[in-house]
Amino acid sequence: MTLCSRRFDEKIVIVTGGATGIGRAVAMRLATEGASVVIADVNSEFGTTTEQGVRNAGGQSQFIRCDVSRSSDVQTMVDTVMARHGRIDVLVNNAGIPGPLVPIDQLAEADWERVLSINLGGVFHCTRYALPGLLASGAGAMVNIASTFGMVGAPNTPAYAAAKGGVIALTRQLAVDLGSRGIRVNAVSPGYVDNDMDQRRDRMTPEAAAANLASREATASLQPLGRLGDVGEIAAVIAFLASDEASFITGAVVPVDGGCTAFFNLGHRQASDGKFEDSPTGHPRLRPSSGR
């Protein structure tokens, strides 16, 4: 992608979960606009590949292995950034996992705790340790990645929905606390996006992976815009919220979801002529899966 804008020239940016999916798209986007991007991710293989991809595109990047659920990892990562740069201009809290898609009476306590520790605990750890660096920036910005599943009820996602709802509440709370200290805090809630966030399809047979993608596409077709979103479309909104162009926006939760949270869908597909027809896939919210 070629951009004329250089909104992040000389900015120091941390993107957690930046090795793949939405995080990778954000890292590439902000680096293209001039940022020096730190990719913090638990996956060393993909993290190194993304770091090299940013550099091959002419950007500045550094990969640091970090498990955001571990405060010691986060502290070490932030200390490394501060030792090199002395400040943090933007923090994108993107790291997350989908967790098991089961009702609460079938959800193991260990799975509940793991999803909460990464998806919500990671935001806490990264914010806590990055705060001095954001304050040193003089105009720090934070963007947290929530989900439409944190805004509306969705079946079989108790841990994921609870964690993302917590991210939304924490975003608003931090905006209140940190606004007077010069830090803006906003959140983005992606909808159905072509983002295999835990690389689940890579571990499937080709047939199963194709069926998984087809199911997501069928669900996305029920939404007002009728398609899956692209990770680049999510990255574009994150880039705006992190930039000075959004200087009077804080505490906002922005759905980037093709209209799904605005639409009470009764299980019908809208045809191109505006009329509704029965959908063979049923109610859209009966098909949650990772990447939302």
pLDDT of residue 234: 98
**Length of the chain in terms of residues written:** 292
Residue 84 CA from chain centroid, whole number? 26
Phi-psi region of 260 (alpha: psi -120 to 50; beta: other; left: phi over 0): alpha
pLDDT of residue 4: 57
CA within 13 Å, CB half, 176: 5
**Type of residue found at 171:** T
Distance CA 229, CA 257 (A): 7
Q: Are 276 and 269 in contact (CB under 8 A)?
A: yes
Nearest to 34 by CA among 16, 57, 66, 64: 57
User: pTM for the full model?
Assistant: 0.88
Which are the catalytic amino acids? 160
Token pair in block for residue 29: 């986007």
Token pair in block for residue 52: 């090299």
Q: Are 225 and 265 in contact (CB under 8 A)?
A: no
pLDDT of residue 277: 55
- C-alpha torsion angle, residues 23, 27, 29, 34 (rounded to 10): 160
pLDDT of residue 264: 74
Q: Are 201 and 212 in contact (CB under 8 A)?
A: yes
Domain definitions of the chain by residue range: 12-200+228-259
DSSP the chain: ---S--TTTT-EEEEETTTSHHHHHHHHHHHHTT-EEEEEES-HHHHHHHHHHHHHTT-EEEEEE--TT-HHHHHHHHHHHHHHHS--SEEEE----------GGG--HHHHHHHHHHHTHHHHHHHHHHHHHHHHHSS-EEEEE--GGGTS--TT-HHHHHHHHHHHHHHHHHHHHHGGGT-EEEEEEE-SBS--TT-TGGGS-HHHHHHHHHHHHHHHTTSTT-S-B-HHHHHHHHHHHHSGGGTT--S-EEEESTTGGG----SEEEPTTS-EEE-TT--GGG---TT-
Distance CA 157, CA 40 (A): 26
pLDDT tens digits, residue range 239-271?
A: 999 999 999 999 999 999 999 999 876 665 556
Homologous superfamily of 12-200+228-259: NAD(P)-binding Rossmann-like Domain (3.40.50.720)
Which portions of the chain are predicted below pLDDT 50? Answer: 1-2, 198, 279-292
**Type of residue found at 226:** G
Edge to edge, what strands does the sheet with 253-256 contain?
Answer: 60-65, 36-41, 12-16, 90-93, 141-145, 184-190, 253-256
pLDDT of residue 282: 39
